[in-house]
Chains A and B, each alone.
Chain A
């Protein structure tokens, strides 16, 4: 059995009109594996991750409805009570956020913030926690950890901050890490270092990792399997090699073509996907991607396409290549 099995996860925000941000997303994460959730802004990838650990604003109130199930080692995260969830967060499941500066408390030294997690979940003393915090900072590649412990977030560089945040996340050796665009706010060189670090942590601890990103380069370098999301649904799901070798859904193909290539000829035009993520159709009326799709045919508008295939599944009636 997989460590985390998400079945039919749906999130609906009840505002002026109901917004179905996530609609029947299913995927599974095995221990030691990296699963990517890929898509543009607004496709529901962050909402998915926040829903899993119960951190959506107003989650479990009338304003937000979460359905489906997410079995983490047998426990349904979506039905777990708050106390259980609070004990799980940070110890069993930890999250790494996009912007390390705003995710760290500006007026609390790094060391205190790391130690806090250890004190909370490991029940160890302050002194012991401090010693282990130094080890953790060392582990995530922060030089001179003893001194850094006493520093404030603004004294650290962007990369160091993200490392500190990762140190906090892995402090209790969680079995599942959720990284929500952990490299988006960083320089390309730092991005590579952070990805390398995550890879190492996954390998050493056997941690499962859900990698949320819009960057297919990150996916190619890190993920074992990939779920491409569009308008709240998985439109294509496959292993990494399979996905890059045989992209099937026109949206995936579009994403791949949108990446500027270093070896492209000068003056060669980029090939973006037309329109924006706001030009969606309701899934009930047909394929949500149809308004932006070059391969759209009449059948696309007759009803929601279903997810076909087992190892390499896709949601399209007129796919690019049949695998």
Chain B
């Protein structure tokens, strides 16, 4: 009785090399079916691994992550990023919103002063210190990434957890519940993510919260499907039978036994999603759906502002772009390393 979505093809065929690269950028560019298979595969991997005897899944995974130089680099990058986001605003030389040097900027003559010893990254088009803005912008970016991912994680896990436990423990009625939930999730999954995000953002009007919600919504189906697959795989585990044999209630089995064992792939995906979320958030801001408040610098908004002055001062696009790239890179490195650590087939 193999669940319909854990077919052998999903287990073996889903990791074609050309698809693997896509994983770093989340699940973009994949057909909905390939997306599904990819998620189910990840869910399954963790389940298989947990069955192996010896050390616990997490201890083992952590040991392998530590040995992987990519993971260490990723972790260092992220640590720096988080540090900058948290204490950066207290260390910056100038206020990010101060236009004290506006007189040096002469837009009519295409003069925007470049880097100097006073202003390391130069000034922006309003005469504000670009370095301070980039540093302070990190906080906003982190905030958007974390809140959006948490939102997606929360809703996705609620849906996926409900569907997964219904399928694994609920008998025939449970399977119907699962079917109903997952078809809705599949619809979300089938929609191109940026289009979905733009629709949400357009509905709610431009603001920072909008961006968070929009980016969160697009990660909901990913988490839902992943957790569901993982829980179904765990549902066949012997400890579930053992707990049932001791009369433990089904709700308690789902929450206390199956769920904790199913979270590994979801957390890996969350790390990868953080990277995508930051990029998507920047994209939404770039499209003018982000935070309209100029008092709070944000990398995506900074990119948009800089775009019209690309010929005059290309460096203004480079700073926030490099910030986005490095951050996404860090999350991706760490997430990929975690995924590899959980994948017995990729072990060295």
Whole-angstrom CA separation of A154 from B57 in the bound complex: 10
Q: Is the CB of B242 within 8 A of A121?
A: no
A97 CB contact (under 8 Å) in B242, B256, B261: B242
Whole-angstrom CA separation of A61 from B260 in the bound complex: 29
Chain B binder among A2-10, A104-112, A210-218:
A104-112
Q: Is the CB of B239 within 8 A of A55?
A: no
Q: Which residue of B lies closest to A178 (CB)?
A: B245
CB distance from A168 to the nearest CB of B (A): 6
Given contacts A86-B249, A94-B245, contact A107 B56 (CB under 8 A): yes
B 308-339 to A, binary, CB cutoff 8 A, 1 in contact else 0: 00000000000000000000000000000000
Q: Is the CB of A106 within 8 A of B242?
A: no
Given contacts A97-B238, A116-B252, contact A58 B247 (CB under 8 A): no
Q: Is the CB of B252 within 8 A of A120?
A: yes
Q: How many A-B residue pairs have CB under 8 A?
A: 85
Q: Is the CB of A154 within 8 A of B246?
A: no
A121 CB contact (under 8 Å) in B58, B241, B247, B261: B247
A99 CB contact (under 8 Å) in B55, B238, B245: B238
Whole-angstrom CA separation of A16 from B284 in the bound complex: 54
Interface residues of A in 47-90 (CB under 8 A from B): 53, 55, 57-58, 61, 86-90
CB distance from B184 to the nearest CB of A (A): 27
A90: which B residues are within 8 A, CB to CB? 245-248
B241: which A residues are within 8 A, CB to CB? 55, 97, 103
B 223-242 to A, binary, CB cutoff 8 A, 1 in contact else 0: 00000000000000111011
B 47-75 to A, binary, CB cutoff 8 A, 1 in contact else 0: 00011011111100000000000000000
A61: which B residues are within 8 A, CB to CB? 171-172
A154: which B residues are within 8 A, CB to CB? 53-56
Interface residues of B in 38-97 (CB under 8 A from A): 50-51, 53-58
Given contacts A86-B249, A99-B238, contact A105 B243 (CB under 8 A): yes
Interface residues of A in 148-201 (CB under 8 A from B): 152, 154, 165, 168-169, 171
B119: which A residues are within 8 A, CB to CB? none
At the interface, yes or no: B1 with Cβ under 8 Å from chain A? yes
Whole-angstrom CA separation of A87 from B242 in the bound complex: 15
A103: which B residues are within 8 A, CB to CB? 238-239, 241-242
Interface size on B, residues (CB 8 A): 28
Q: Is the CB of A104 within 8 A of B239?
A: yes
CB distance from B321 to the nearest CB of A (A): 41
Whole-angstrom CA separation of A6 from B4 in the bound complex: 37
At the interface, yes or no: A223 with Cβ under 8 Å from chain B? no
Q: Is the CB of A89 within 8 A of B260?
A: no
A116: which B residues are within 8 A, CB to CB? 243, 246, 248, 252, 256
Whole-angstrom CA separation of A112 from B53 in the bound complex: 21
CB distance from A100 to the nearest CB of B (A): 9
Given contacts A102-B51, A103-B239, contact A94 B261 (CB under 8 A): no
A86: which B residues are within 8 A, CB to CB? 247, 249
Interface residues of A in 108-133 (CB under 8 A from B): 108, 112, 116-117, 120-121
Q: Is the CB of A106 within 8 A of B247?
A: no
Q: Which residue of A lies closest to B246 (CB)?
A: A90
At the interface, yes or no: A45 with Cβ under 8 Å from chain B? no
Q: Is the CB of A107 within 8 A of B261?
A: yes
CB distance from A111 to the nearest CB of B (A): 13
Q: Which residue of B lies closest to A152 (CB)?
A: B56
Q: Which residue of B lies closest to A117 (CB)?
A: B246
Q: Which residue of B lies closest to A95 (CB)?
A: B245
Q: Is the CB of A106 within 8 A of B261?
A: yes
Whole-angstrom CA separation of A99 from B52 in the bound complex: 12
B 154-195 to A, binary, CB cutoff 8 A, 1 in contact else 0: 000000000000000001100000000000000000000000
A117: which B residues are within 8 A, CB to CB? 246-248
Q: Is the CB of A120 within 8 A of B249?
A: yes
A55: which B residues are within 8 A, CB to CB? 241, 244-245
At the interface, yes or no: A233 with Cβ under 8 Å from chain B? no
B55: which A residues are within 8 A, CB to CB? 154
B51: which A residues are within 8 A, CB to CB? 102
Q: Is the CB of A102 within 8 A of B248?
A: no
Most buried by A among B238, B249, B252, B260: B238
Whole-angstrom CA separation of A55 from B242 in the bound complex: 10
At the interface, yes or no: A91 with Cβ under 8 Å from chain B? yes
Additional 12 contacts, C-beta under 8 A, given A90-B246, A95-B245, A116-B252:
A94-B245, A97-B241, A97-B245, A102-B239, A104-B239, A105-B239, A106-B239, A107-B58, A108-B260, A116-B256, A120-B247, A168-B246
A→B interface (CB under 8 Å):
53, 55, 57-58, 61, 86-91, 94-95, 97, 99, 101-108, 112, 116-117, 120-121, 152, 154, 165, 168-169, 171
16 chain-A/chain-B pairs, Cβ below 8 angstroms: A61-B171, A87-B247, A89-B246, A90-B248, A94-B245, A102-B238, A103-B238, A103-B239, A104-B239, A105-B243, A105-B256, A108-B256, A120-B249, A121-B247, A152-B56, A169-B246
